Amino acid sequence: MGMSLVKLVVWVSWLAMAVGAEYVKYKDPKQPVAARIKDLMSKMTLAEKIGQMAQIDRSVATEQILRDYSVGSVLSGGGSEPLPEAKAEDWINMVNAFQNGSLSSRLGIPMIYGIDAIHGHNNVYNATIFPHNVGLGATGDPELVKKIGAATALEVRATGIPYVFAPCIAVCRDPRWGRCYESYSEDHKVVEQMTDIILGLQGDPPTSRKGVPYVGGKGKVAACAKHFVGDGGTTGGINENNTVIDMHGLLSMYMPAYSQSIIKGVSTVMVSYSSWNGQKMHANRELISGFLKNTLKFKGFVISDWQGIDRITSPPHANYTYSVQAAIQAGIDMTRSLLIRLLQVMVPYNLTEFVDDLTYLVDSKVILMDRIDDAVQRILQVKFTMGLFETPMADFSLVNELGSQAHRDLAREAVRKSLVLLKNGKPGSTPLLPLPKKASKILVAGTHADNLGYQCGGWTINWQGFNGNNSTRGTTILGAIKSTVEQSTEIVFRESPDANFVKSNKFDYAIVVVGEPPYAETAGDSTNLTMIDPGPSAINNVCGTVKCVVVIISGRPIVIEPYVSAIDALVAAWLPGTEGQGVTDVLYGDYRFSGKLPRTWFKTVDQLPMNVGDSHYDPLFPLGFGLKTESGASIVSRYSPLTYFNNYSCMHVKNLLPVDEMSWMPLISDGFGMNYLINCMYVP
């Protein structure tokens, strides 16, 4: 009955328009998108066009500002939420209130609301948090990643938001970079494959629309490939630093994933803070307008990073008029450069500063009107394509998708497929994994065993992540162990047990979970890549006394070589997210290990940067390495040949180890080092 009433109201409103109101072509969904864009732009003033090129944070947005300035977009920065532990309905009500402001503007152009949803809907309480990209790269499963994109889209739409700043398609070449966990792999081919997440987020575009921005309905979102281009190759792994590489290297290493993203219909591209050979990417006309738009034929819109335009100058905002000129001329269509400064004032002075500066530059013919029209046309192209003019307001029909059991099951699957088994048994001993569920008494230790925030990493609820178990819903690894082992098994948890405690208890085995604290961006840059204390002492105190499996929770390879000989089994679990049960699924043998290293694991940080193919390649574990909990023969079958293994490393290993098959086969159970040899025996 209620729905019939809604249909009647809609029919009456359309009838009123047909009878008494002026026909407006851009509001007619039966018209081609190109015709609607042309009609709308013919009606827009310069101020309205420039307004569409601005994006402001929700904390400074009001309905009046959106109405008066025709602002094109609103976003939630990391941790920016309507209220603590906001429900889906709270988000929807906030987004719709802002949209009301936009729709009440002179032309009624809807704004597009965006949010960082880089491993699930990570800003939102109770959302499913998937493994960070480095873990997804370890799965080697593009179809799984596509499903994760689809699940993320539903959870984002459940909160009324139609646009995400994801995926990050950086190729991280140095784990010292604080954003390395946002990269799927050091291998650009793996990153290219994982761009299938765009098809999950946006939907599969029709064959006839390949290469054109596409969003397939109310259950999908506009995606954003970032950060264009070369952000993962900065000198020293320093965030926002300079990437030194020639054009051939840039195009072969960092550009292919953008080409794939465009083919798959990505709607937007975000520019990197970093520089290329000394030139700020936000001012690089050759690459943004020349290569991205003209050569790759990207038809969506290009957006700046947070304050990216300001940072064209040093110090930031030293000459804002020049920064606006350089960025817009380079080809940036929408700017997020005014966000932090807007927080300081009640009236959006810096929004008017952007509008005034850009207006002055156009009036002075420093920036041509064609450049403004190109930017606005691209923004409107995305808005029309995603149906924002027809359905600008969000409803409550998808609220149950947020944190749904189906999505948590998918995340759990992703966790178990992302785990990489690096060692399983000491020389001459039987493999430790899988662990028995029935035991007399077991020890669980380490800083990360019972800490959901550490397990999820940065970009979770808050920009820099959180510490503890209270900021969102999920299952810690300790909680997963408790629900997996037999009820008769006694579980003792000590975050940092001393050696005497371990010796005085007769533990059947121990699980030690250690790693990095949460971090994001520059705060994560590291020159030493060490685990946090008391991680090392927990390993030494436990593994020297009882059989132990060490689980590393980290966004990248960290220093573990000094401890490996004392460890019975070693697992790289990356940043698995809220579904800790995926870890125990594999530790206890309900599923087999299948993950492969998406990154080279170094011996010492002095080797960095070191990537497969380098002349000095001498890793602790090579790219593509990963054991399975199977027989030795199966391991050999699984890893022959290892695609990423180079002949230099094989020659080095064969010189150190016996090469007679009968002499090395009994050593397979070591699970460490010998696998180099296993791989090399089958490399041509």
Can you read off the two tokens belonging to residue 671? 């699970």
The DSSP-derived string for 406-441 is: HHHHHHHHHHHHH-EEEEES-TTS---PSPPS--SE
Across residues 280-293, what is the average pLDDT?
98
Cα 40 to Cα 168: distance, rounded to the nearest angstrom: 33
- Predicted local distance difference test score (pLDDT) of residue 597: 98
- Render pLDDT for 93-114 as a digit per residue (tens, 0 to 9): 999 999 999 999 999 999 999 9
pLDDT at 664 over 80: no
- pLDDT for position 4: 53
Sheet with 490-494, edge to edge strand ranges: 420-424, 569-574, 548-553, 509-515, 441-445, 490-494
Residue 684 has pLDDT above 80, yes or no: no
Please check the confidence at residue 645 and state whether its pLDDT lies above 80.
Answer: no
Q: What pLDDT digit, counting tens, does each position of 198-254 carry?
A: 999 999 999 877 789 999 999 999 999 999 999 999 999 999 999 999 999 999 999
Q: What pLDDT sits at residue 350?
A: 64
What tokens were used for 212?
């054109």
The pLDDT assigned to 251 comes to 98
Q: Can you tell me the mean pLDDT for 60-67?
A: 93
The mean pLDDT value for 441-467 works out to 98
> 675 — phi, psi (to 5°)?
-70, -25
Cα–Cα distance measured from residue 651 to residue 645, given in angstroms and rounded to the nearest whole number: 11
Q: Tell me, what's the pLDDT at 631?
A: 34
Whether pLDDT at 13 is above 60 = no
Asked whether the CA dihedral 23, 28, 30, 36 is positive or negative, the reply is positive
Residue 168 DSSP code:
B
- For residue 525, pLDDT over 50 is answered with yes
325-354: average pLDDT: 68
> What is the Cα gyration radius of the chain?
27
Contact call for residues 257 and 198 (beta carbons, < 8 A): no
pLDDT at 649 over 60: no
Q: Which residues pair with 579 in a beta bridge?
A: 475
Residue 494, strand partner residues: 445
Backbone angles phi, psi at 618, to 5 degrees: -145, 70
For the chain, the structural domain boundaries read 27-386, 419-630
Low-confidence winner among 151-155, 443-447, 531-535, 626-630 (lowest mean pLDDT) = 626-630
Quickly name the fold that domain 419-630 has.
Rossmann fold (3.40.50)
Residue 260 has pLDDT above 60, yes or no: yes
Mean pLDDT for the stretch of residues 533-550 = 97
> Over 80: is that where the pLDDT of 679 sits?
no
Residues annotated catalytic, as ranges: 305, 521
Question: Does residue 663 carry a pLDDT above 80?
Answer: no
Please write the tens of the pLDDT for every residue from 84-94.
999 999 999 99
Which among 464, 450, 561, 547 has a CA at the least distance from the CA of 506?
547
d(CA 133, CA 546): 34
- The span from the CA of 398 to the CA of 408, in Å, is 16
pLDDT for residue 21:
61
Evaluate whether 80 touches 122 at the Cβ level (below 8 Å).
Answer: no
Q: What is the pLDDT of residue 374?
A: 98
Beta strands (DSSP E) in 209-259 are 224-228, 242-243
**Superfamily for domain range 27-386:** Glycoside hydrolase, family 3, N-terminal domain (3.20.20.300)
Q: What is the pLDDT of residue 606?
A: 98
- On the question of pLDDT at 640 being above 80, the answer is no
With b for 16 or more beta-carbon neighbours within 10 A and e for fewer, the 120-139 pattern comes to bbbbbbbbbbbbbbbbbbbb
Mean pLDDT of 49-57: 94
Q: Find out whether 336 and 327 touch, Cβ atoms under 8 Å.
A: no
